[in-house]
Structure 1
């Protein structure tokens, strides 16, 4: 079973417009509402591909009621800790003409100490049945710095690998706690490590204690960085669409393989890149195209030379 934890969930609204013009008035059809947050997107993708999943998160306020109702309708097994603060909301505006997406994310409100403890308790209860733990998404402002390392350490004590997709100082703490896999993008690596070169930043995370860094690079594909090598996978041609859930699909691919006991770097890199690409044509985050196997067959995979090598 894949156990996902989403510390800062969101009720996602997606609008599609012909062309997004700053300062202008736009008309759109009714937007699509979905229970979101990166960990829940991971759970949706893995569930749709037949993997057993349990999604843990929080819900509160009016937005939390809509959030819980949509999640219940999804068929994804889940447990929600009720919190006092309303579940945050996000808006994604898809520009149909350019194929770009503009996103506005509420930061979210920090749960109380008792609410954090309740979420941690749900993780502890579920870990004995888990094959992999996924901690995915941002943390709300004021979240305890110990939360992500505590989850990783608890999982390691239970013999469960942890896959973490987060940003900022939490990314550093996840590496120091010994996360099995980190899945940042280039901007997140630079922000967390202060190193402008993405490969150099990924290596710094490996040096801190992470085993594997899957580095998203948008249209340029993905890198897999370990202590020994750097591998790159990319499509033979870029895809147009909504990239909002592409990174979450990559995490889902990694989680599914890790839950099956697969650790081969090239296999993980290929599947993560293919599922990431397969998310781009889909209207909503948390879905991937059935054509992902064809996309995987089109991948170009190669080693990346170290700077000191000729």
Structure 2
């Protein structure tokens, strides 16, 4: 079973417009509302792939109730911990003309020490049957930067591999705890290491404690520094669409690969295919099945450690 943890879940609201023009009013062509947050998106993708998964998250107020209702409606197993504060919302505006997405993220509710203790306890119980633990997304207010590090240490004691997808201080603290995989994007990678070159930055995170680093480089695909070597993987061509959630699909593919025991090249090919297929889908946590199956057997090229990735 793959356990995903989302400490700052959201109700994702997506508005699709023909063209986004600042300082004007717009008619919304389509509205999508669903449970979100990075770990929830990962669980949704894994559920679609028919892999056993359970989503652990906080739930607060009417928004939290809407998050739970959506998970129930789609049959995604979950363990939700109540918070006194209202769960957050995110708003995504998709411009059909350009394919660009504009995202507004609320901060989320503050989490008390008792609420954090309850969620930690739920994760500890699930680790007994877990094959992978996925820790994804931002931290809510008042949680310590080391929150993901605490869960990483607990998983290591239980012998469960950890994938960490975070940014800033949470990523820095989490890497020091020795996760099996970290999955930053290019901006997060540069921010946490201070190094502009993706390969040098990925190697720095590897040296700091991450056993593998998989960096999302947007249309340039993925760069992975792993125990089996350094690899570069990318789709055959850029795909237009909504990129929101593409990184979460990368995490889902890596988690699936660890769960099933596939090689790193195979995991990366799957990650590229799933992320590209997510760009072609209307919302995060979904993917276009035809695109996925067409790209699933894409090529993965090995890189020498000194290869220029710019």
Structures share fold, TM-score greater than 0.5: yes
1:229 CA drift (Å)? 3.6
CA distance in 1, matches of 2:48, 2:295: 18
1:230 CA drift (Å)? 2.3
**1:9-158 alignment runs, 5 A limit:** 9-29=9-29, 31-158=31-158
1:266 aligns with 2:283: no
Indicate conservation of the 8 Å contact 1:212/1:224, yes or no: yes
Q: Secondary structure at the match of 1:152?
A: helix
CA distance in 2, matches of 1:96, 1:145: 37
When normalised by structure 2's length, the TM-score is 0.95
Find the counterpart in structure 1 of residue 277 from structure 2: 278
Find the counterpart in structure 2 of residue 294 from structure 1: 294
CA distance in 2, matches of 1:86, 1:220: 38
1:19 CA drift (Å)? 0.5
Indicate conservation of the 8 Å contact 1:223/1:269, yes or no: no
1:305 CA drift (Å)? 3.5
CA distance in 2, matches of 1:219, 1:142: 35
CA distance in 2, matches of 1:96, 1:228: 40
Indicate conservation of the 8 Å contact 1:8/1:108, yes or no: yes
1:277 CA drift (Å)? 0.8
- Provide Cα deviations, 1:131-166, integer angstroms capped at 9, x if missing partner: 010001111233112311110011011110000111
Consecutive unaligned residues of structure 1, counting only runs of 5 or more, are none
The alignment's C-alpha RMSD in Å is 1.4
1:52 CA drift (Å)? 0.5
1:304 CA drift (Å)? 2.9
| Count of matched residue pairs | 307
- Provide Cα deviations, 1:84-108, integer angstroms capped at 9, x if missing partner: 1110110010000001111111121
1:240 aligns with 2:236: no
CA distance in 2, matches of 1:106, 1:226: 34
